[in-house]
Structure 1
């Protein structure tokens, strides 16, 4: 059975539209640095509709949004390229992706933003406190999966996400046992939902912007969501 679509309020819709119009990442004149043709040969396959946000545009917008945040804010965050998750799932490029991730030093960051584009649809995975002990009572690692199209069943990504996380831990020589890693919670908040079939990439950028603005110093699962920005419109199920 398809999940019921979560309606967004007038205020939330206005915020999203304002973000689209005013954020520097949506200006069409933004110069993008040239990217490897080999690395992005799948770009044409990412979007099934011309109006959807393709991976080259997404990465360009993401880079410019990232620059808009202060250095202090960025100290707690890092993000992965939007094609890395998809490339990881392919046998020919999976090992390369794990090597690239090592350079991001994700275990030294409080939050890791992982844009995902699969089956012509964008969603956002967030690693929280991966550098903390899996037995920690205060800052225990967890994951958030944000999807603006709930009826697409975001949980279908979980097997690939679980394998991805295990391989990251293993490739970096982390001491955590596989069973403990498999128990890292994957939370799926109810978030504002897109109103047509082509807005998912824009919503992922909106979620990233909102999360970076309002994410707490230390994320706690207890009582979540509880901080500004998410508390007014987000729920976990």
Structure 2
């Protein structure tokens, strides 16, 4: 491994061979153990703080219903699935959906927790979110699924080809924003999304300039639209399901919007999808 030097008493410098048993005494010195425990405690404290912020964000963004042990069945379960999903229900359905895909289908994808974007928007939790995102290694994946719940509405942001060169002619980075309520103006989130993306690049130590990152296209395909205010969460889950099933190995700008049109799916397909969502324990 090498050698390390530390102050001595007579010659001024003591050399420690890190491959020798003596190095264990140095590494296990009480001062080293104390410093290590301080670092661990600090990290645990930061993680607890982040988790607390995310939990409060969940309550503020989309309140959960009252918990009970009753399990819904039959028509009650179908009726429940038509209600606007809170973050707890969405995450459970999403993780079940994710597990149902084969490893090969999941390979090109990674995803963010549904509360990360909303939590990032609060200054007190921004650094936590960027740290967690860095651990996702998103620049090695063709697709990053980012469910967004903001202003009490669900939409789906997809980062494509973030690891590719911004000058790539075949598969340059781009963003897709799938919104089932386009009449509300999905581009109102664009300034926040672009700042989010810039901070992701910056925290990941990427060499791209701010100007080039801000030029990454944000595309808003005309996908099927919801019929009432309660359906947006189910639409996002269905967007995810169909996108993972149909997405090409490499998303190319010249193929846009590809399969993502207002005829992408019909109401019967959405209904069948919602009925297949596993009922949740309350």
Using the size of structure 1 for normalisation, the TM-score is: 0.79
Q: Does 1:145 align with 2:177?
A: yes
Q: 1:48: how far off?
A: 7.2
Choose the corresponding residue for 1:57, options 89, 93, 99: 89
Which residues of structure 1 form unaligned runs of 5+? 1-35
Instruction: Please give the per-residue CA displacement for 1:72-117, whole angstroms capped at 9, x wherever unaligned.
Output: 1111000000000010010100010000001111000000000001
Asked if 1 retains the 8 angstrom alpha-carbon contact of 2:54 and 2:116, the reply is no
1:33-112 correspondence to structure 2 within 5 Å: 39-47=54-62, 51-112=83-144
Q: Offset at 1:231?
A: 5.5
Alpha-carbon RMSD: 1.7
Instruction: For 1:64 and 1:190, locate their aligned partners in 2 and report how far apart those are by CA, in whole Å.
Output: 27
- What do the CA deviations read for 1:114-148 (whole angstroms, capped 9, x no partner)? 00011000000000000000000001000000000
Q: Is 2:216 the partner of 1:184?
A: yes
Distance 1:184 1:69 in 2: 29
Q: Structure 1 residue 63: deviation in Å?
A: 0.7
Asked whether 1:220 is paired with 2:252, we answer yes
The answer to whether the 8 Å contact 1:49/1:198 transfers is no
Any conservation in 1 of the 2:181–2:225 contact (CA below 8 Å)?
yes
- In structure 2, what is the Cα distance between the partners aligned to 1:186 and 1:106? 18
Change in CA separation of 1:203 and 1:232 when aligned onto 2, cut-off 3 Å: closer
CA contact (8 A) 2:147 2:155 kept: yes
* Contact 1:48-1:120 at 8 Å conserved across structures: no
Which residue number in structure 2 is paired with residue 122 of structure 1? 154
The answer as to 2:191 corresponding to 1:159 is: yes
- Show structure 2 runs of 5+ residues with no match: 1-50, 66-82, 265-282
